[in-house]
Structure 1
Amino acid sequence: MNKLNNMFVGENNSIIDALNKINENNTGTVIVIGENRKLLGTLTDGDIRRALINNVSLNSSIKNIYNKNCKYIYENYNEEDVQSILKMYIKAVPIVDKNKIVVDYVALKDFFNTEDTEENPVLIMAGGLGTRLRPLTDDIPKPMLKVGDKPIIQTIIEQFRRSGYKNIFISVNYKSDFIKNYFRDGSDFGVSINYIEEDKRMGTAGAIRLAEEYLNTSFFVINGDILTNINFQSLMKYHINHEFDMTIGSRNYDMQVPYGVLNTEELCITSLEEKPVYSFMVSGGIYVLNPQIIKYIPQNKYYDITQLINLLINKNRKIGNFPIQEYWMDIGKVEDYHKANEDIKKLF
């Protein structure tokens, strides 16, 4: 019971009270309870840190900063229930009875070996202006726009973490403080985050060159506006097993011509196709590269990844195609953003 009491605070307790409990229980979390230990929510050290960034006083009540929609499990839970929640890197999950009275909790640090990690770095491109999403991006960088209940880039980071990739680099430029203040060093999200500062816009490949010193093995590059449930481990294994220099995650794209298309031979029409559909393979904004490829990127110069791809093709380097069969959305336009917010409720 002493162990459980170290997890409890009331919603009228101060932030400093909650911090003292977090220091005692070593879970990074406290459980907020009401009368008779009824579950009200949870509060993490990350929640507190973000409140302090917003100039909330340590002596303030936690009432306005704790998570009232927290995850919880019932006391007859099974292992799959716990795994499905803790894999979201929720640090501690309350266990309740049928009346939502807290009877115990499960901590992430006790349930998983969270030290297991893949060595391959992940470089997320988050420095763009997001001009096609204005006015949504007038005051916030595109990767920080919420899809569902969290920023797009947070979903990307959590997906990589669940696949074992925790060595994260984020290339930032436009309104970068929003990203850096939210994620900090990544420890609240179960990863390690370092920031690649673009003093000027460098393009996708140019930002890779800035991160060269950290990229010593095959690494991912992904645009910070991609919503997908691709299997990242499968992509990396595909790249390595086929010994590609670079692998591009590709997506099938259908385009319908809204007219009848005439096929001609000199002055004569040989056939007519009514509104035909043409299919193309397009880049999905997800790549795996070998570090040896970085030398082809010019230093301190704006350089897009499309330029790099064409250069590698001309130099006969081995470039792989990895078709993305899973859900994929490039959130480049306002209508894409609204569609992604509909899709995430059903698919993620």
Structure 2
Amino acid sequence: MKNLVLSSKSTFKEAIRMIDTNGNGFLAVVDDANKLVGILTDGDIRRAILDDKTNLLEIINKDPVVMDINATRKQVVHKLKELHRKHMPIVDSNMVLQDVITLDDEEFDLKPNWVVIMAGGLGTRLGDLTKHTPKPMLMVGDKPMLEHIMEMFISHGFTKFILSVNYKSEIIRQHFKDGYELGVEIKYLEETKRLGTGGALSLINTEIKEPFFVTNGDVITSVDYEKLLDYHNKNNSSATMCVRKSSYQIPYGVIEIDSQNNILNLQEKPEHNYYINTGIYVLSPDVLKHVPKNEFFDLPTLFTLLNDEGYVNKSYEINDYWIDMGLPDDYVSIVNKMESNNKH
């Protein structure tokens, strides 16, 4: 724990040197009695440099989450994963620092895969709801829908996000910034014109080596993203589309006739089953070369192109909770669902 603890009397340069040396991006700051004063992260240091601040006590987080010395390691690990953090100060009843528990990447189960979220839609079908707010930033409970989407990925260990933004993008950028508050990494793709659900992928300038997710910014689901990725990899798929079974019942009797107007068959209000595209995908990096540069391009078109080229494309049926917030009634449904979950 020694290289993770810094005296509150240390200088800013000493703090930088120590946080650079330990390689953890974290320091617990204590006073002469070893009482926890606060914590310092590499993100705090970056912001301090930008704000031209060098007083250590002005920079540190003086109200960090801590856990009692009687907590089990399992409890600490669970809390860290819940907070999307990798370091937890352990204190006694007098706030005297006893330990710092650190999770390595393997234990924390962080994944290298990127998640691309299409968050640039106009949301015109939602009317006045999106007049001043981009659709992914509509509040669902106490946080924007986009944050709920990200938290579902985070809960499965995916913490690297690329947000494709356009309409009122400044609202999204101001809320999420670089992802530090969520304990994730966020990069942005700025669409200067409408590029569809796939065209924005041509703007990616980050090296992507692993299969990556693409999801619409108006879809909330409880799908298991780890199982989805595993399915994609095990099937050597180049592009995997999540689908959902739906049905439509014709409200009339359907009559089958031949060319002579003879009645061959009658079906009373038949039900037709089919699969719909849920707006959730896993793509392998090599398919990006098929996305035209800075042109309007929808992802379903990519699947057609890949089929023509002989790529392996797979569907993945999801039976979990899923809703696409396209209409005002859909938004009400999502809000009610979240409120119901919170009550339980």
Give the drift of 1:116. Answer: 4.3
The amino acid that maps onto 1:177 is E
How far residue 135 of structure 1 moved from its aligned partner, in angstroms, is 1.1
Of 111, 119, 127, the residue aligned with 1:118 is 111
C-alpha distance in 2, partners of 1:203/1:150? 26
Relative distance call for 1:138 and 1:80 in structure 2 (3 A) is: farther
Runs of 4+ in 1 over 4 A off after TM superposition: 71-86, 90-93, 102-106, 111-116
| The one of 286, 295, 298 aligned to 2:289 | 295
Q: SS at the partner of 1:206?
A: helix
Q: Per the alignment, in what secondary structure is the counterpart of residue 129 of structure 1?
A: coil
Q: In the aligned structure 2, how far is the partner of 1:129 from the partner of 1:224?
A: 11
* Alignment-derived partner of residue 38 in structure 2: 25
Corresponding residue of 1:53? none
**Which residue number in structure 2 is paired with residue 281 of structure 1?**
275
* Alignment CA distance shift 1:334-1:302 (3 Å): same
Cα distance change, pair 312–198 in 1 and its aligned pair in 2 (3 A): same
| 1:161–1:190 CA contact under 8 A, matched in 2 | no
| 1:338 counterpart = 2:340 | no
Counterpart for residue 263 of structure 2: 269
Q: Does 1:153 align with 2:166?
A: no
Quickly say closer, same or farther: Cα 1:104–1:279, change in 2 above 3 A. farther
Q: 1:175 to 1:214 in 2, by over 3 A?
A: farther
Hey, what does 1:63 align to over in structure 2? none
| 1:167 matches 2:167 | no
The Cα of 1:346 is off from its aligned counterpart by 4.1
| Alignment counterpart, residue 318 of structure 1, candidates 312, 317, 322 | 312
1:88–1:276 Cα change, 3 Å? farther
| Superposed CA offset, 1:56-113 (max 9, x none) | xxxxxxxxxx9xxxx99999987777666654327699x9xxxxxx99799xx84754
Task: Give the corresponding residue for 1:184.
Answer: 177
Shift of residue 342 of structure 1? 1.6
Equivalent pair of 2:84/2:154 in contact (CA under 8 Å):
no
Deviation at 1:162, TM superposition (A): 1.6
Determine if contact 1:247/1:321 at 8 Å carries over to the other structure.
yes
Aligned mate of 2:221, from 193, 218, 228: 228
State how far apart, in whole Å, the 2-side matches of 1:179 and 1:149 are.
16
For the aligned residue pairs, the C-alpha RMSD in angstroms reads: 3.8
Calculate the TM-score normalised by the size of structure 1: 0.72
Instruction: Name the TM-score, length of structure 2 as normaliser.
Output: 0.72
Count of aligned pairs between the two proteins: 289
- Aligned match of 1:207: 200
Whether the 8 Å CA contact 1:122–1:221 is kept in 2: the answer is yes
Q: Mapping of 1:55-74 within 5 angstroms? A: none
Structure 2 residue runs of 5 or longer lacking an equivalent are: 1-7, 9-30, 45-62
Q: Kindly provide the CA deviation profile for residues 91-140 of structure 1, in whole angstroms up to 9, marking residues without a partner as x.
A: 699x9xxxxxx99799xx84754664211111010011011111111100
Conserved 8 A contact 1:73-1:81:
no
Alignment-mate amino acid for residue 26 of structure 1? I
Q: Which amino acid aligns with 1:25?
A: G
SS at match of 2:302: helix
Cα gap change, 1:255 to 1:84, in 2 (>3 Å): farther
Partners of 1:248 and 1:235 lie apart in 2 by 10
Q: Distance in 1 between matches of 2:338 and 2:78?
A: 17
Query: What is the CA–CA distance in structure 1 between the aligned matches of 2:154 and 2:338, rounded to whole Å?
Result: 18
Distance 1:276 1:84 in 2: 50
